[in-house]
Amino acid sequence: MNFKYVGPLVLLAAIVIGDQIRINRPNHKYRLTVEVETPAGVKSAAGIMAVHPDRSYSRGGKTRTRGDAVFVDLGGGKNLVALLAHIDKSLELDEINYVALRAYKAAGQNVSFSQMSRVTGAVPVTGEVIPVLVSFADPADPASARRVPPNEVEGALGKGYRLRGISAEVVPNGLWPLDFGGSLGDPVTRGIEARLPWLNGADDAAGRALQAAGLPTAEAIDSKDAFTRK
């Protein structure tokens, strides 16, 4: 073996790996927590989202979020799900990229997108920043979905149920792509496909769920993106 090429090859590999980390490392991660008051006490669930700008411009400069919708098991067959979507004139899938940013700004922190990884502390997610909430009478049946306005949880789920609050908290990016947990950083939360098994199907069950919930969708969107982003 000609060792004179080892040094340049190692350097080239380091440059390629470093550039891939630069391109793919998230700008920031945040934990989205949903808390619901129930007759049996407060129930909550949380999911970690990773927000990735397009540093390579392979996506036309578009930012994307990796993560799953947050499924809160309320017991007694009831649930509340915070989708990765908002409503404008139709279902909007890009606003989830800016939930944490908008929540911190609303809480009085004048932070830019590029500075998000430096902020600390949880802040409330309120008003239009709240993602679309839905509930499934039967999680195994996408047609059982219904939309739940944040101020009408009791009307949708029954007496004693109320949205206690939704919060966002920036968490450390960790050592991407080795963010397996602990000191390496919390990974993106997965699990919605286990809660809603029809998401793994070949047909557009996600679209049927959104339609059942009365959520207007644009033809161009992938309905499954409202539930999970890879």
Mind listing the pLDDT tens digit of every residue in the chain (230 residues)?
A: 556 666 665 555 555 444 455 566 799 999 999 999 999 999 999 999 999 997 766 656 789 999 999 999 999 999 999 999 999 878 999 999 999 999 999 999 999 999 999 999 999 999 999 999 999 999 999 999 999 999 999 999 999 999 999 999 999 987 766 676 666 778 999 999 999 999 988 789 999 999 999 998 766 789 999 999 99
What the block records as the tokens of 70 is 């947050």
Helices and strands of the chain, counted as H and E runs: 5, 12
Bridge partner list, 112:
none
CB 51 within 8 Å of CB 100: yes
d(C-alpha 105, C-alpha 87), whole Å? 20
Q: Where are the beta strands (DSSP E) in the chain?
A: 28-38, 41-52, 64-68, 70-75, 78-82, 86-87, 91-92, 122-124, 133-136, 145-147, 162-171, 228-229
The CA distance from 2 to 223, in Å, is 54
**Tell me, what DSSP letter sits at residue 101?**
H
Q: What is the pLDDT of residues 15-48, one digit of tens each?
A: 544 445 556 679 999 999 999 999 999 999 999 9
The amino acid at 30: Y
pTM of the model: 0.89
Cα separation, 142 vs 76, in Å, equals 19
Place of tokens 């890879």: 230
